[in-house]
Structures are given as C-alpha cells and as structure tokens.
Amino acid sequence: GQFETTADPGADLSMAGFAADLVAVTGALFGGDERTHVVGHSLGGLVAATAVVDSPDLWASLTLMCSGPGGFDGAKGREALDGALLIETEGLEAAYRSRARRAMERGQEPPSEQIEQFLLERFMANSPESLAAMARLLATAPDRTADLAGSGVKVAVVRGEHDDAWSHAAQDVLAAALDTSVVVLRQSAHSPAVEAPEETRDALVRIWMS
C-alpha cells in the first residue's frame, strides 16, 4: 500500500502482517535454502525485527538502519497517532500539510518547489489505510531488544549522522544490549542510502562480511 501500490481490502496491516509479507517476499526471491541478510529502514526496521524474532532460522543478519528498539515515545508517538487520525478523517493531503508545518516549526529547511511537489505526489500515491496503519505502528510497536538479543541472529545498528527519528541515546542503548556499537554514516540523516550511497553500501558490505 505504499507509493503506487494498492492495499488489498482486508489486508493484514498489523506488524505481524507486514513481517509475514517480508518472509513471503524473501522466500519468493531467494527460495529459503540459505539464510538471508535483511536491512530494515525506519518502520521497516521494526518490521524486520519482528520477522527475525518470529523466524530466526531464516536470517543471516539484521541491520536496523535509522530505526529503533520499538515505537516512538512521548511527543513523537502522539504525533504519529495524530497523523493516523488526520489521514482517516481529513485525508492524505491534510496529513502531509500538517507534517510539513511541523517540520518548519522545528526549524527544518523547506525543500525546493520541485522537491516539494515530488514529495507531495509521492505521499498522495500511498494507500490511506496502509499509511494510517503504519503511523499507528510507529507509536505502538513494542521494544524487541531482549527478543533480538535472544534470537541468535547477528544485529547491526546503523544511523545517519544527522538522523533524528529515534534518539541517538536510544540507539546507543539498543546497540549495547545487542553487543555491538552504532555505525554512524557521515553527511546523512534519515535516508543515508540516498544521501550517502557509497558510504552506506560500504558499511553494509562490512556488516555482511564480518
């Protein structure tokens, strides 16, 4: 249900449902004969963590990129829930405009007119049902740190230098509990694969080869 894909009526938009989709896609692509390295970005990290905990024998490693131990706490969690409600009551464009206003209030530099139009069109192409469900998961997903530590799967924690989705302190605690340290990608924020593609590639290769 994201960006020009449809969410089927009655689709399971729970965390377990998204994790099951990940397992199904991995099986379709790789056949399940060998363990697979999985990278989960942002909410995708929470989904991937669920898949790893539920089916640890499928995975060679998990990389949590710009993600966290669970859903957002405090004000960010409330903001995610408010966003879900706004999508359901006023629609996608109202939710997008509200998010853009909050970014400006936090002092974030506005994008160029061309980029702004692209971001709006991309946001509007989402399934409202799927986007609202994902916003709620960002606020309510449980902390899976202990489950990951007991899964037997190697976990890496990666973030952009300027990423502010989850707190750096929370990511540091997560990494320490998983007996690792955070890999920080320079000159990037929440989308290092776009902002620092070569450094992101090199970091992932080092993780997979270690």
Q: In angstroms, rounded to a whole number, what is the distance separating the alpha carbons of residues 188 and 192?
A: 5
Q: Which helix or strand (DSSP H or E) is residue 4 part of?
A: none
pLDDT in tens, 34-69: 999 999 999 999 999 999 999 999 999 999 999 999
pLDDT attached to residue 50: 98
- Residues 148, 50 share a domain: yes
Q: Which helix (H) or strand (E) holds 190?
A: none
Of 15, 93, 77, give the one whose Cα is nearest residue 101: 93
Task: Dig out the tokens for 172 from the structure.
Answer: 């540091």
Residues 97 and 119 occupy one common structural domain: yes
Task: Identify whether residues 67 and 79 lie together within a single domain.
Answer: no
- Residue ranges making up the domain that contains 193: 15-71+142-209
Q: Is residue 8 part of a domain?
A: no
What pLDDT score does 3 carry?
A: 67
Per-residue pLDDT of 111-148, as tens digits, reads 778 878 888 888 888 889 999 999 999 999 999 999 99
Structural domain count, the chain: 2
pLDDT, tens only, 68-91: 999 998 999 999 999 999 999 999
- In sequence order, the β-bridge partners of residue 40 are 64
Do residues 195 and 98 share a domain?
no
What CA–CA distances, in Å, run from 199 to 152, 158, 160, 205? Answer: 27, 11, 10, 10
